Homo-oligomer: A and B are copies of this chain.
Amino acid sequence: MICTGDEVLTGKIVNSNFSYISQKLEDFGLSLAWETTVGDDRESLLLAFQLAGSRADAVIVNGGLGPTVDDLSQEIAAKAAGVELALNESWLKTMEAFFTRRSRVMPPNNIKQAMLPVGAEVLDNPIGTACGFAVTIGKARFFFTPGVPRELRRMLEEQIIPRLLAKAGQQTAVYLKRFHSYGIGESHADALLNGVEALAPDGSVKLGFRAHYPQLETKLTARGADRADIDRKLAPVEAEVRKRFGNFILAEDDQTLEGAVLAELQQCKGTLAIVESFTAGQISGRIAHLPGAEKIVKRGVIARDLTEICNAVELLNVPDAITKEAAAAVALAACKQTGATHALAVLIDLDEGADRIEFAGTVCLAIASSKGTAARRSRVVGGRDWVRLGAIEMGLDCLRRYLQGLPVDERIDFEKVE
Residues on A facing B (Cβ under 8 Å): 9-16, 18-24, 26, 31-39, 41, 44, 48, 51, 210, 274, 276, 278-285, 287-289, 291, 293-294, 297-305, 308, 311-312, 338, 355, 384, 388
Best-surrounded residue of A39, A293, A299 (most CB of chain B within 10 A):
A299
A299: chain B residues at CB < 8 Å are 301-303, 308, 312
How far does the Cβ of A357 sit from chain B's closest Cβ, in whole Å?
A: 11
Q: How far is the CA of A288 from the CA of B304 in the complex (A)?
A: 8
> Which residues in B have their C-beta under 8 angstroms from that of A41?
33
**Which residues in B have their C-beta under 8 angstroms from that of A48?**
34
CB pair A300 B297 closer than 8 Å: no
The answer to whether A33 touches B44, judged by C-beta atoms less than 8 angstroms apart, is: yes
What's the dominant secondary structure at chain A's contact region? Answer: mixed
- In contact, A32 and B9 (Cβ under 8 angstroms): yes
B300 touches A301 (CB 8 A): yes
Which of B210, B274, B294, B303 makes the CB contact (< 8 A) with A304?
Answer: B294
A259 → B minimal CB distance (Å): 15
Which residues on the B side are within 8 Å of A311 (C-beta)?
338
Give Cα A298–Cα B280 distance, bound, in whole angstroms.
11
Specify how many copies of this chain sit in the oligomer: 2
Contact between B34 and A36 (Cβ–Cβ < 8 Å)?
yes
Residues of B within 8 A of A22 (CB): 9-11
In the complex, are the beta carbons of A20 and B15 less than 8 A apart? no
Cβ of A35 to closest chain B Cβ, rounded Å: 4
A10 lies within 8 A of B34 (CB) = no
Docked CA distance A297–B305 (Å): 10
Are B297 and A304 in contact, CB atoms less than 8 angstroms apart? yes
Taken together as a complex, chains A and B put the C-alpha atoms of A12 and B41 apart, in Å, by 29
Q: Is there an interface contact between B303 and A12, defined as CB atoms closer than 8 Å? A: no
Q: Could you name 11 residue pairs across A and B whose Cβ atoms are closer than 8 Å?
A: A10-B22, A14-B16, A34-B38, A34-B48, A35-B36, A279-B289, A280-B287, A281-B282, A282-B282, A293-B304, A297-B304
With beta carbons under 8 angstroms apart, the residue of B19, B44, B302, B338 that contacts A34 is B44
Q: A10-B23, A19-B15 are in contact. Are A289 and B278 (CB under 8 A)?
A: yes
**What is the CB-to-nearest-CB distance from A336 to chain B, in angstroms, rounded to a whole number?**
13
A280 to B16, CA, bound (A): 27
Q: Kindly list chain B residues whose C-beta atoms are within 8 Å of the C-beta of A281.
A: 276, 280-285, 288, 300, 302
Pairs of residues from A and B, 9 with the lowest C-beta to C-beta distance, nearest first: A281-B281, A281-B284, A300-B302, A11-B22, A11-B19, A280-B288, A11-B23, A280-B289, A35-B37
Given A281-B288, A282-B289, A300-B303, answer yes or no on A19-B14 (Cβ-Cβ < 8 Å): yes
Question: Which of B21, B32, B283, B294 touches A305 (beta carbons < 8 Å)?
Answer: B294
Chain B residue with the shortest CB-CB distance to A301: B301
Q: Is the CB of B11 within 8 A of A14?
A: no
